[in-house]
Amino acid sequence: MKREETVKIHSSYLEGERVPNFKTLSGLEYKEVYTAEDTTGARELPGNYPFTRGIHKTMYRGRLWTRRQQSGYRSTKESNERIKYLLSVGQTGINMDPDLPTHLALDPDNPLAHGDVGLQGSSIVIYEDMVDLYRDIPLDQVSNTMIVEAPTSAVIIAQYLLLARERDIPWEKLIGTIMNCPLTQFVGPTYQAITTFFPVKFGVKIALDVMEYMVRHAPKWNIVNINAYNIRETGVNAIQEAAFALALAQDYVRGLIERGLEVDVFAPRIGFFRAVHIDFFEEIAKLRAMRRIWARIMKEKFKAKNERSMWFRTACQTSALPLTAQEPLNNIVRAGIQTLAAVLGGVQSIHTTGYDEAFSLPTEESHKLSIRTQQVIAYETGVVKSADPLGGSYLVERLTDELEEQIWELMKVIENRGGFVQCFMDRWVEDQITKMRHQLGEAFTSGQQPIVGVNLFRDERDLTKINIFRHNEEWQQQRIQEIIEYKKNRHQEPVQRALEALESTVRKRPEENCIEAIMKAVENRATLGEIMDTIRRAIDFKRPGL
């Protein structure tokens, strides 16, 4: 009799269903089983040097991580509404993202900027934007992260300090973070992306200006956050993510020491922002290994005495790379698992990436779901009730040791090449990233990195529809016009005077801290683009369009 079965069986019972390999995402081998012989065991308690098990003794028993979803789109007024919405559903920190022209220090009326105004964040160009952005929000009570890199960070921080002054909030009471890292914040350390509109060396110089100024005037403020998330999202693995970020942080520490600052004065205000990818145990082990390495670097290499200087404080975002446009609801599961890894890894704040990531900016609905994901883990699962619950796991401890070793190795290579900034300028970093991207494409095609619903179990019939955030095209034109009018209608003389003073300072004494000169320009109603074009001119840098 003719067989007529037509149902396709993915993995038959006889074959046994199996994953394609037993490696971590960065290529380390998972052993069949781990035993006491694989590890010397957790050597210290949470809150004790080198802080493998967490930087605090009680971890989440004492205080939960901060729920800090990024937000920002179109006008600062609309972003202010979204911030208020997020706070109303239980977000505990603010995380504000400007649009691309703002990141690259271009005004909306610059022809290069027209198509991108207000799309991936909010347009923040003039002091008045800052006023609108944080209207009604108590800047001394909620910690506020501003996702912006040098050189733009100098203008943004100037606007922010002026806003605080205007509202009678002493600078010493400001709590929050300026990301400030010129090499990683925009899209990770890819060469063309971050050298086209501003030179790297002077970008690092301005980043150090911001750090120095804030250490001296706003001691509770976090002065730099090395964006390892963006490093990872270029396609590199966990080992590279960690080594690149830690090597870069050392460059900043050296830069500040060269300016005569005591390591224990500024080091407690350095933070990290990490990716949490989908390889559950590797990501947890990575977080533990990085804490250990940072503590050792700060104590042994930079001779820090204050334990806080040795704390690897880290925010994180669940990686968007494993999220898919196919069957987008699966992303809720992925982000939930990634968020759990972040919690078990002992991070200080979390952004859970929205399930609509492969389509658009998050809708209000998706934003809320991200917060709820974290709240379910925090309040329902019980995983927060003991510090470092995975400490002593044979597998986790062994993987922590292995990753630590590999990260140190790679950091040595970078140090021998003159540090991370040098490696970036020599395009060594670029070469590493390109190789990894090609590998990523290969792993995706071959199925060695399985993505359910995409390169396996793909279902072409899937028609899941989700709500998608839509942009309003008319708004761009309005915003461009608004800035043109603003420039036309202000008192021109004080603007010119402030910009000329800035230019002359930077030209004659480029090593001098330029934050106060920038603040003067902001106070006199100069725009972001005007201020940065002035600096570009002073250092003879030609950006596209000039």
Partner 1 sequence: MKKHGKKRILLGKMGLDAHDNGIVIIAKWLLDAGFEVVYAGLYNSPESLVQTAIQEGVDAIGCSFLGGEHLYYTRRLIDLMNEKNIDNMKLILGGVIPPDDVEELKRLGIACIFTPGTMRDTIIEALNNLFIGSK
Shortest distance, position 458 Cβ to partner 1, whole Å: 8
Give the nearer residue to partner 1 in terms of CB position, either 213 or 273: 273
- The DSSP-derived string for 94-124 is EEE-B-HHHHTT--TTSTTTGGGTTSSSB--
Are 497 and 524 a contacting pair, CB within 8 Å?
A: yes
Binding mask 267-306 for partner 1 (x = CB under 8 A): ----------------------------------------
**What DSSP state is assigned to residue 172?**
G
Measured between alpha carbons, how far apart are the two ends of the chain, in Å?
79
Q: Are 130 and 124 in contact (CB under 8 A)?
A: yes
Query: Which residue intervals of 352-448 are DSSP H helices?
Result: 364-379, 394-416, 420-425, 428-446
Output the six-digit token pair for 440. 């990523």
Contact letters for partner 1, residues 204-233 (x by CB under 8 A): -----------------------------x
Give the per-residue contact string, 432-471, with partner 1 (x = CB under 8 A; - = no).
--x--xx-xx--xx-----x--xx---------x--x-xx
Distance separating alpha carbons of residues 528 and 458, to the nearest angstrom: 47
The verdict on 91 binding partner 1 (CB under 8 A) reads no
Judged by CB under 8 A, the number of residues near partner 1 is: 46
DSSP-H helix ranges across 237-363? 238-258, 263-266, 280-296, 307-310, 330-344
Q: What is the contact mask toward partner 1 in residues 158 to 187, using x (rule: CB under 8 A)?
A: ----------------------------xx
State whether the Cα torsion 498-503-504-509 is positive or negative. Answer: positive
| Residue 192 is a binding residue for partner 1 (CB under 8 A) | yes
Of the two residues 333 and 358, which places its CB atom closer to partner 1 in the complex?
358
| Pairs from 77-81 (Cβ < 8 Å, separation ≥ 24) | 77/132, 78/122, 79/122, 79/133, 80/132, 80/133, 80/134, 80/135, 80/136, 80/137
Determine the residue type at 541: F
The mark string for 229-258 relative to partner 1 (x by CB under 8 A, - otherwise) is ----xxx-----------------------
Residues 313-332 that bind partner 1 (CB under 8 A): 324-326
CB of 183: closest distance to partner 1 in angstroms? 13
Q: With binding defined as CB under 8 A, does residue 544 bind partner 1?
A: yes
Separation between Cα atoms, residue 293 and residue 401, nearest integer Å: 11
CA-only gyration radius of the chain, Å: 24
Contact code string over 11-50 relative to partner 1, x by CB under 8 A: ----------------------------------------
Closest approach, Cβ 438 to partner 1, in A, equals 5
Residue 527 CB, shortest distance to partner 1, in Å, is 17
Closer to partner 1 by Cβ: residue 319 or 524: 319
> Which of 21, 48, 120, 478 touches partner 1 by CB under 8 A?
120
| Nearest CB to partner 1, comparing residues 104 and 261 | 104
Q: Indicate the DSSP class of residue 224.
A: E
81: Cβ contacts below 8 Å, ≥ 6 apart: none
Computed from CA positions of residues 5, 9, 12, 13, in that sequence, does the dihedral angle turn out positive or negative? negative
Query: Which of positions 476-515 make contact with partner 1 (CB under 8 A)?
Result: 476
**Shortest distance, position 126 Cβ to partner 1, whole Å:** 19
104 forms part of the interface with partner 1 (CB under 8 A): yes
Residue 151, preceding peptide bond in cis (omega within 30° of 0): yes
Judged by CB, which is closer to partner 1: 465, or 508?
Answer: 465
Q: Which of 101, 271, 336, 345 binds partner 1 (CB under 8 A)?
A: 101
Cis peptide before 50 (omega within 30 of 0): yes
| Binding site residues, partner 1, CB under 8 A | 100-101, 103-104, 106, 112-116, 119-120, 186-187, 190, 192-194, 196, 233-235, 324-326, 358-361, 434, 437-438, 440-441, 444-445, 451, 454-455, 465, 468, 470-471, 473, 476, 544
